[in-house]
Amino acid sequence: MPNRIDVTVIGAGPAGLAAAISASRNGASVLLVEREARLGGILKQCIHDGFGVLRYREKLSGPEYAYRDIVELETTNARVMLQTYVSRIEKIGSKFILTLISSNGLIQVESGSIVLATGCRERTAKQVAIHGTRPAGVFTAGTAQYYTNILGQMPTKRCIILGSGDIGLIMARRLTLEGAEVLGVYEAKSEPGGLLRNVLQCLNDFEIPLRLEHTVTRLFGTDRLKAVEICRVDKNMTPIPGTEKLVKCDALILSVGLVPENELAEMLGAELNNKTLGPVCDQNNMTTVSGVFTCGNSTHVNDLVEFVSESGVIAGSNAARYNYRAARSLVPISSSADFLYVVPQCIDVGSQENEATIYFRSSEVRKNVTVSVLADGQEVFKQHYNHLRPPEMERIEVYFGGEFQRMSKVTLRMEDTVISEEEPEEEDAQSVETVGAQEDLGYVDDSEHMEYDDDFADVGDYGDIDDTEDIR
Ligand SMILES: Cc1cc2nc3c(=O)[nH]c(=O)nc-3n(C[C@H](O)[C@H](O)[C@H](O)COP(=O)(O)OP(=O)(O)OC[C@H]3O[C@@H](n4cnc5c(N)ncnc54)[C@H](O)[C@@H]3O)c2cc1C
């Protein structure tokens, strides 16, 4: 094992696999480090289909999607270390010294640049304030997925799911198919937290009720969970007294959010964004620490795996081309409160790359809006959206044009679209109007989101079936 390497990629999920392939194809010597025994990251346990529609025009399972990248990785010169944990990284001069823990003991590696592809972790029961006892039977959705799909063991016979994030929705269907009774998915907000596609395919198709504006307030049971207390909540998500109901169940599955694994970024002193909780980065996916790149769910929690892979390609190719002598000049991207977040958060005008792939989420459900990008007040991109929903990430490509290196401010703006009476609204009005040329980066297009948007009206009240018992 050489202990000097050009690019070290940490994490071998779809982001890390894409980064390692892309860095290697760009001529770098590459080391891919993964703490688990197999490549593929969280996709190993996502055995349902739906992955790869944008990239391959096929519906693959998670392992099938990962397998295609693993096969491609094998055609490169990237070296892989499995069951190896990156415990420490230090920047010394222009180099990074990594401490790896493996079955062979501690190893130190010197690397020219780093790609963080460490994924995200789930929020746990401790991060959701629920009163009562602490019995067995409270799982995160990912743990329930691991039990069911990897260990082949059923974690429950009768459960409720708290939180309508995608993994919770997918597990509602999965556990139902495996014979468990899923009494309902309870969501404190007034909108589901996951993709509409998953609400329709995982809940509606299986008649699993989605109870919006509800939460779990108390657990009952000593050794094993026996029941939970659920409650309606007000607009501030505060439980409304008198609305308590008791639901008998042996498991509570939590799908209450994902947080980027950002410990290594923090250790390196990279600035974190308080909205994404991942590192701040530029259009080349470089963090505020020169030579440290980020991608996938360790940057921000993505909705579709293709965006994860795409960010890996960007991070890997730029890590391979990284020149520590090149000066950076970061211009911030600012956005109004209409946006939940925007990634990247800055543009390096010192770089050769005057095109940026920008991802954003709206902070609330919006209809008929126009999003524009302004460089020093001049519009460089404009797109109309029929619907924007916070769970659905949007992706745009912006070309900043010839004045790129002189610009000092980039702003994202969202405004209600003004539709003139003479011009009726187009049916498929998710239209793009771009000022300046735009190069097609490859496999991603936005058509999938439009399909979900059209389905939105059909979801209705999400089926308010009451199978609970009064607590008193
Ligand atoms: C529990 C869970 C279930 C999910 N299920 C679905 C689903 O069903 N459908 C869907 O579309 N999306 C799902 N997602 C979203 C999914 O995470 C993304 O689509 C995508 O897999 C993220 O890719 P990634 O490469 O960024 O991260 P991951 O796939 O999470 O890969 C990160 C890798 O980094 C490794 N790692 C982390 N820290 C270190 C370290 N210090 N040293 C060495 N290795 C390290 C981890 O072991 C892991 O293999 C799920 C996410 C989670 C957390």
pLDDT tens by residue, 407-440: 999 999 999 998 766 655 554 445 444 333 333 3
**Cα 167 to ligand 1 centre (Å):** 12
**Would you say the CB of residue 331 lies under 6 angstroms from ligand 1?**
no
**Would you say the CB of residue 117 lies under 6 angstroms from ligand 1?**
yes
**Would you say the CB of residue 12 lies under 6 angstroms from ligand 1?**
yes
Digit-coded pLDDT (tens) for 354-363: 999 999 999 9
Position 421 scores a pLDDT of 64
Look at residue 258 and give its three-state secondary structure: strand
> Using only C-alpha atoms, what is the Rg of the chain?
23
Q: Is the pLDDT of residue 167 over 50?
A: yes
Q: Is the peptide bond before 63 cis (omega within 30 degrees of 0)?
A: no
**Cα 37 to ligand 1 centre (Å):** 14
**Would you say the CB of residue 212 lies under 6 angstroms from ligand 1?**
no
**Would you say the CB of residue 43 lies under 6 angstroms from ligand 1?**
yes
Position 353 scores a pLDDT of 85
Mutation test residue for ligand 1: of 39, 256, 261, 297, the one with most atoms within 8 Å of CB: 297
CA distances from 59 to 49, 50, 65, 103, 195 (A): 6, 5, 9, 37, 16
Look at residue 334 and give its three-state secondary structure: strand
User: Mean pLDDT in the chain?
Assistant: 88
State the maximum Cα–Cα separation within the chain, in Å, rounded to a whole number: 73
Q: Is the pLDDT of residue 44 over 60?
A: yes
Q: Is the pLDDT of residue 174 over 60?
A: yes
Q: What are the structure tokens assigned to 64, written together?
A: 């099938």
- Atom 19 of ligand 1, residue of closest alpha carbon: 305
**Would you say the CB of residue 80 lies under 6 angstroms from ligand 1?**
no
**Would you say the CB of residue 140 lies under 6 angstroms from ligand 1?**
no
CA distance 375 to 86: 39
Q: Is the pLDDT of residue 441 over 60?
A: no
H or E segment at 79? Answer: strand 79-81
CA distance 22 to 98: 21
Percent of the chain with pLDDT over 70: 88
Look at residue 16 and give its three-state secondary structure: helix
Position 412 scores a pLDDT of 97
Position 451 scores a pLDDT of 34
**Would you say the CB of residue 301 lies under 6 angstroms from ligand 1?**
no
pLDDT band at 1 (very low <50, low <70, confident <90, very high): low
**Would you say the CB of residue 11 lies under 6 angstroms from ligand 1?**
yes
Position 187 scores a pLDDT of 95
**Cα 56 to ligand 1 centre (Å):** 20
CA distances from 426 to 175, 207, 385, 420 (A): 41, 34, 11, 12
**Cα 67 to ligand 1 centre (Å):** 15
Q: Is the pLDDT of residue 464 over 60?
A: no
Q: Which residue has the higher pLDDT, 462 or 146?
A: 146
Q: Which residue has the higher pLDDT, 292 or 165?
A: 292
Position 422 scores a pLDDT of 62
Could you give the angle at the alpha carbon of 390 between the alpha carbons of 387 and 391, nearest 5°?
105
Digit-coded pLDDT (tens) for 308-338: 999 999 999 999 999 999 999 999 999 999 9
To 10 degrees, what angle do helices 305-321 and 62-74 make? 20
**Whole-prediction pTM value?**
0.88
Contact 225, 134 (CB under 8 A): no
**Cα 334 to ligand 1 centre (Å):** 29
Mutation test residue for ligand 1: of 21, 32, 42, 107, the one with most atoms within 8 Å of CB: 42
DSSP secondary structure string, 153-208?
Answer: ----SEEEEE---HHHHHHHHHHHHTT-EEEEEEESSSS-SS-HHHIIIIIGGGT-
Digit-coded pLDDT (tens) for 118-157: 999 998 776 677 888 889 999 999 999 999 999 999 999 9
Order of strands, edge to edge, in the sheet holding 469-470?
131-132, 214-220, 227-232, 245-248, 469-470
Digit-coded pLDDT (tens) for 71-101: 999 999 999 999 999 999 999 999 999 999 9
**Cα 468 to ligand 1 centre (Å):** 35
Q: Mean pLDDT, to the nearest integer, of 172-197?
A: 94
CA distance 226 to 335: 47
